[in-house]
Every structure is written in C-alpha cells, then in structure tokens.
Amino acid sequence: MKKKVTGKKTIAAIGHNSKAKAAVPKVTAIKKKPVTAKTKALLAKGKKYYSLAYKPREMIVARGEGVKIWDTDGNEYIDFGAGISVTSLGHHNKKLVAALVAQAKNIWHTSNIFFTEPAVSLAEELCVASKFAKRVFITNSGAEANEAAIKLARKYAADKGQPPEKREIITFIGSFHGRTLATITATAQPKYQAGFEPLPGGFTYVKFNDFAAIEAAISDKTCAVLLEVVQGEGGVTPVAPGFLKHIQELCHKHDALLMLDQVQDGMMRTGKLFSHFAEAGVKPDVVTLAKALGGGIPIGAMLAGEKVENTFQFGSHGSTFGGNPLACAVARVVLKTLQSAELSKNVAARSKQIFAALKDINKRHGIFAEIRGRGLMIGAELKPEYHGKAGDLAELARKHGVLVLQAGPNVMRLLPPLVIKEVELAQGIKRFEAAISEFTGK
C-alpha cells in the first residue's frame, strides 16, 4: 500500500496497515462457527495437561494480524487486551518480525559472560529515552525486573551500613508487582499471597493515594518506596495529582529510593513513553519495564539512576537469558517505534474516543460506577449490583467477538493495541456494547 510522503510517519509506517478513514461498519450479532474436532481435541489436552494455575477461555488462539486474532475455528475477535498490555504494536507486526528473523540468522543466545550488540544498544537507548537511567539490567519478565529492583534497594541500604531491620520497602494496597515469592509479598493484595506463607519480611503496606499515610509510614528504616503510576491489577487506578512528587520529597528526606513499576503502565500505554513523564519534576531512582517492551517477545528491564548505578557489582545478580539477543533486537525496534510522534497522536485520539464511547454506553445501560485510567489503559468499574460479575461480562464479550480483561471481580479493563484505528476501535466498542446489552438485559 502506497502512502503520500508528508514527512510524518503514519500508523501504517510503524507496521500496522492503515486505510483512509471510513464509516464504522454496522455491527450485527456475531455468528459463531462450529467447534471443530481439532479445537475439541486441543481443549481436552489443555484441560488434562496444562497447569491448573490457569483457567483459559474455551478457545484456541491460532493467529493474529494487527488488532485482530482468530481461533482455530475461524472466529474473529477484536483484541482489547493486547496480551495484557504486551502486543501494543499489534499482532504480527512486520517490523518486529523482520527484526526477529534478521537476528535469528546471526545468534540466538550467549551468556552474559559476553556482550552482544542488541543488548548493548538496547541498554543505551533505554538510558537515553528514560532521561534518568545510567545503567540497565535486562531480564525476561516484569516479575524478574521487580525482583532485581527489590534486591538493588536492599543492597543499596546494606552498602550504606544499614542493618537488615532498616531495609524496609514500602508498597501500596492494591498494587501488583509479580508472582515470585518476593514480588507477591511486595504485592499488597492478600489473594495473591494466601497459601504461600511464610513470606519474606521487610515490606510495609500503605493506602494508595493517601498523602498522610505515606508520610506517617516512611522513616529512616525505609530503603525504598515501590509503586505503579497506574495500578493495573488493582482496578486501573491512577496516582493522584501530586502524589508522586510528595513521595519523591519524602524519599529524598529519608535517603530512600523512589522505584516505579511501569511493567504495565509504561511504554506509551498511558500516552507517555514512561508513565511518570506526565508528572512534572518527578525523577525516579529505579524504573522497571516489561510487557510492551518486547511487543510479544519475553523481555524486561530494570533501569537504575545515578544514585544506584554502581550498586550492583560483579556477582550481585544475574540471569541466564536476560539480555537475549533475539529479544533485545525486537525490543530496540519496539522502543524506537513507541517514540514516534504519530503513535503518540494516535494514542491521544483513541483515548478520547474510547472514554467518550464508554460514557455513552453508560448513559444507555447504566452499568458503570466509574470510568477511569490514562491513555489506552482504561478501567470501567461495575456498579454494586454487578459486583463479582466482571469475569462473566468478559466471557460474554468474547462470544460477541471482542476480547476484554478484568482487573479484579468488579472492574472491566481495556488495553487495546496502541496502533488501533478509529474504525477498529468503534467496531470493538459496538461489540462490547452488544455484550453489555445482553448482560444487563437493557
């Protein structure tokens, strides 16, 4: 497809085919195709051999293209989940495929005993883009990035001569930081911790967005404060205006690290490359990334600022696959693409569109108590009469041809790909409303 050259990149130019603005097609009820023998067999095997830690939907995902995916039966779905904020540049993004294939022809893996060009270049580019980082530790996931941050904070305190009882890390109620033993302990939600006790010590929980509570909790025994700019699993709850700045001032006062978990809300998801860029004057000591950084290839990163750039010394931490050249080669293209002005413009426009559409839906169906979030990270909290039913609505939406997420039992979570076009978003919203109409009976 040819595009008139204007000096600006289009959404098509960043790897997702775009067409001229067109009228939103009329959406009728989705006619599901018959379940094939292949699908039945795969579902049966999945239920028999897959870990019971997961409870996948009754479908087998077969392929994806742009903002859509298809199952093995040939049913089409508009993806409003993006693999939980991962495939932000869409499925089967041609630039990412090209980067992966090119690197695969060179070398797939080497240990961190050696440098590779993709890892070195990615580290440099992350430092430059972040405007604060001096060094980068590359991981395979967000949990590992947060685990590295926790270790870094404790090592920073130890290097100052602080005893173990003065290496406390403060986190916030409703947070989510991963599934390792340390990161579920940092995650101040009992449902993720139950049954895994005894948990590691040294964590203190504070109410999110409570200025007085954090001021009362932090002390000279605190080595770090860890939080999300927008709590994802905690209901898609953004940080209150001035809260980050308040925490930063308290951290400076007590020589504690300000650590921001941007695994889900980072990488342009909220309309800014780094979510704290929306808060003037905030300069973290540590930022953790993953999810969208690889566009679907597993990768994470812990970015360390000037205060802690030398805290990890030889042997302090390690990862066999961290810095894998395949993942780093793809992440470099993702990072460059996410910084495009055209993509930023699209996120802003689609954000306005989706918030307006959800408000219109609410006028007709009266289902949401609150619609909140930033950029294309949206949480729609169900009214009390529908509490506990977010999973039911998500499943009904799937049957209507749109994939949405939940954030707990009461909040619908929408994380569409950042490259989604106006027509595609409108079509997905129409399908979502059809599911809502069936759900509420209105």
pLDDT at residue 19 in the model: 40
The secondary structure element, H or E, covering residue 330 is helix 325-338
pLDDT at 47 exceeding the cut of 70: yes
58 in a structural domain: no
DSSP structural state of residue 430: H
CA gap 229, 237 in Å, rounded? 8
pLDDT at residue 51 in the model: 96
> If pLDDT is split at 50, 70 and 90, which confidence band does 431 have?
very high
E strands present in 144-201: 168-172
pLDDT at 390 exceeding the cut of 90: yes
pLDDT at residue 21 in the model: 42
pLDDT at 327 exceeding the cut of 60: yes
Q: Are residues 212 and 271 in the same domain?
A: yes
DSSP structural state of residue 173: B
Q: Return the structure tokens found at 436.
A: 């809502």
- 108-155 pLDDT, tens digit each: 999 999 999 999 999 999 999 999 999 999 999 999 999 999 999 999
55 in a structural domain: no
Q: State how many domains the chain has.
A: 2
Question: Which of 338, 353, 384 corresponds to the end of one domain?
Answer: 338
pLDDT at residue 442 in the model: 80
233 in a structural domain: yes
Mean pLDDT rounded to a whole number for the chain:
93
Mean pLDDT is lowest, of 19-28, 72-81, 262-271, for 19-28
Q: Are residues 281 and 410 in the same domain?
A: no
On the 0-12 / 13-18 / 19+ scale of CB atoms within 10 A, 151 is: middle
Q: Please say whether the dihedral angle defined by the alpha carbons of residues 302, 274, 126 and 244, taken in this order, is positive or negative.
A: negative
Q: Return the structure tokens found at 61.
A: 């995902």
Q: Are residues 326 and 355 in the same domain?
A: no
Per-residue burial over 263-272, b = 16 or more CB atoms within 10 Å of its CB, e = otherwise: bbbbbbbbbb
**Domain encompassing residue 367:** 12-23+30-50+64-92+341-440
pLDDT at residue 270 in the model: 98
Q: Return the structure tokens found at 311.
A: 């805290």
Q: Are residues 302 and 430 in the same domain?
A: no
- 338-353 pLDDT, tens digit each: 999 999 999 999 999 9
254 in a structural domain: yes
Higher pLDDT, 362 or 26: 362
CATH number, domain with residue 81: 3.90.1150.10
2 in a structural domain: no
The rounded Cα 331 to chain-centroid distance in angstroms is: 15
